[in-house]
């Protein structure tokens, strides 16, 4: 159980790092937030037959649900890492970080593509960098935090 909790805490730290980097990028480049998370939330609600209210309510609920999906992904990947890491203790942080980042990126991008919300072939170099770098930071912070929580 300790490994699960440590993974959850590490995933939370990684998620905070990803969000801070993303918001800093928005500040520096004066770019708007991605609509992909809320679009995914909207598609999932539609497929589940869930009405989100009038237009304003639906917009707000999609926005909140999209943000929550990001937290679920970050916390979930961290928790899974905790479960796996307690059985594979020899994995170095420098290898675990990129693997965790790629896992989190896939966990968010694959559903987005499958639902037809985005098409990676249309992203361009800047779009890919804006997706890869925060996820790599997520992975490195998650792995380093987990290691810090387990070291004596």
Asked whether the whole model's pTM tops 0.85, one would answer yes
| Interatomic CA distance for residues 101 and 5, integer angstroms | 19
Domain boundaries, the chain: 2-150
DSSP character string of 76-102 = HHHHHHHHHHTT-TT--HHHHHHHHHH
Q: What is the mean pLDDT of residues 104-117?
A: 96
Give the separation between CA 146 and CA 49, rounded to whole angstroms.
39
Q: How far is CA 66 from the centre of its chain?
A: 11
Task: Report pLDDT for 104.
Answer: 97
How confident is the model over 128-151, as pLDDT tens digits? 999 999 999 999 999 999 999 987
Query: Residue 6 corresponds to which tokens in the numbers above?
Result: 């440590």
């Amino acid at each position: 159980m300790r490994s699960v909790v440590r993974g959850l805490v590490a995933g939370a730290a990684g998620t905070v790092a990803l969000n801070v980097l993303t918001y800093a990028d928005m500040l520096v480049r004066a770019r708007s937030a991605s609509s992909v998370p809320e679009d995914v939330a909207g598609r999932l609600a539609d497929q589940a037959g869930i009405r989100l209210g009038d237009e304003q309510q639906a917009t707000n609920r999609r926005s909140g649900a999209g943000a929550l999906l990001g937290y679920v992904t970050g916390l979930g990947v961290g928790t899974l890492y905790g479960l796996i890491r307690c059985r594979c203790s020899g994995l170095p942080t420098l290898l675990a970080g990129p693997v965790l980042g790629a896992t989190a990126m896939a966990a968010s991008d694959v559903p987005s593509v499958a639902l037809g919300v985005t098409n990676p072939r249309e992203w361009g170099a800047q779009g890919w960098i804006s997706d890869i770098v925060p996820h790599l930071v997520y992975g490195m912070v998650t792995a380093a935090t987990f290691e810090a929580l387990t070291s004596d």
